Amino acid sequence: MSHKSAGTGPQHVAVLVFPFTSHPASILRFVRSISTLAPDMQFTFFNISRSNSSLFLGSCNMGFGNIKPYNVWDGLPDGYTPPSSGNPLLEQIKLFLDNALGSFEKAIKEVEAATGHKFDCLISDAFLWFSGDIAEKMHVSWVTFWISEQRSMLLHIETDLIKEKLQGQEEDKTLGFLPGFSDDFRASDIQKEIALGDAVESPLGKMLYKMGQKLPQATAVVINSFEMMDLKGSEELKKRLKRLVLVGPQHLIRPVQTENDDDEEEEEEAEDGCLQWLDKQKPASVAYISFGTVGALPPMEVGALAEALEEGGFPFIWSFRGNQEHFPQGFIERTNKLSLGKVVPWVKQEKILNHSSVGVNVTHCGWNSILESITGGVPIIGRPCFAEQFLLMRSVEIVWKIGVRIEGGVFSKTGAVKALEQALSLEQGKETRQRIEILKQLAQEAVAPNGRSAEDLKALVDIIKS
């Protein structure tokens, strides 16, 4: 319950961000979709400086209309240098989480003191489970946002049951004992932080476990998905949560344009000519390849996939942020000269996947990539790398039947050629494309003016206002 009476002024909403991988961009897009429906609300976007600078185009004084950034401490000590071994990202996440509760509480008090207004609601990334405790102290509602889909959230809520049933035997057991899951799902599809008892002692494991325990206490849990994408998962979550709100696919919901959007459009136009190059290709003939913002293939797999593309003559666009020395010698120059493909550091993935020349998405199976494949009508070749990507890959194969996992789970030249031939063959991929078209239509219907996701988003605005 808010401490502020209705009608006394604009609502002030605090947004707490998990500042790593694709989380900040996802929650900003979600908040922008709310702000479009509620232009009288004021949102403060609490995030670390380097992430805010990226999202708000380097200016911490600029925002998107009624959304203003505010920097919180990233938890890194003065003079911090990343470790030479291990995983630098995991260490930075640990340092951030160790200090996040105090950092957010301090920042919230600073903004309230500077503005003279108390916050009326708290929105947070679901990873930040302690946001529920902050909201309770503030006597305001807690709305939490999950950037993935229904089934992966269900696993986190049921972690205790999973560990009891699996007892560390994570490879060969099925997940048929879980409501909403069939025997086609295997224990090997889920994260070790869920399946193994001792994994909960890691910083990431602790965060995920506490999140699963805390989510049922939230005023509303928001998911970037739509009900028809997973009816069983939605039904099970509704039994466990106070309020389930499905507002996806978020990338189909267009917020009101601002000056910052104009700058972004200019950046998108300068994408090394990818869209112009695609205009010259045959329909559904091009492989788009990307492994997300942090996903990276091992060097041998980069080489194997590159050899398959070149020797098989498959046109491609590869969004690649790794070490180009992992490509076969001369690969980029040869394929560029022959107009066979383009290796670029970044593209607007949604635009690429909506181009008629793209015939397959070779991906790590992150949730955003899957949603954008569906709304672009593009089949998937999956090579999951970490987190819930293995679970999502299983759903791609057996639930939605809109793609295949790479043979053996890792790229070899022969396996990649086989998968690409199947995906880019219009005859072999006919049924897959038909299923994707059905999901694409359902997604579009969900976000249409009277669709379920659109109605849920309106209801969420009412929850925040109340």
Which residues are tagged catalytic? 23, 125
Residue 363: Cβ within 10 Å count: 31
CA count, 13 A, side-chain hemisphere, 26: 30
> If you search the block for the tokens 């579009």, which residue do you land on?
444
Which of 65, 45, 43 lies closest to 55 in space, CA to CA? 45
Q: Please name the helix (run of DSSP H) or strand (run of DSSP E) that holds residue 464, with its range, or none.
A: helix 452-465
Which of 139, 175, 182, 201 lies closest to 1 in space, CA to CA? 139
Q: How does strand 316-319 pair with strand 341-344?
A: parallel
Residue 344 and residue 320 in contact, taking contact as beta carbons nearer than 8 Å:
yes
Residue 257, token pair as written in the block: 């344009």
Distance CA 328, CA 307 (A): 7
Residue 135, token pair as written in the block: 């909201």
Distance CA 290, CA 369 (A): 9
Which of 99, 134, 101 lies closest to 119 in space, CA to CA? 134
Distance CA 218, CA 460 (A): 13
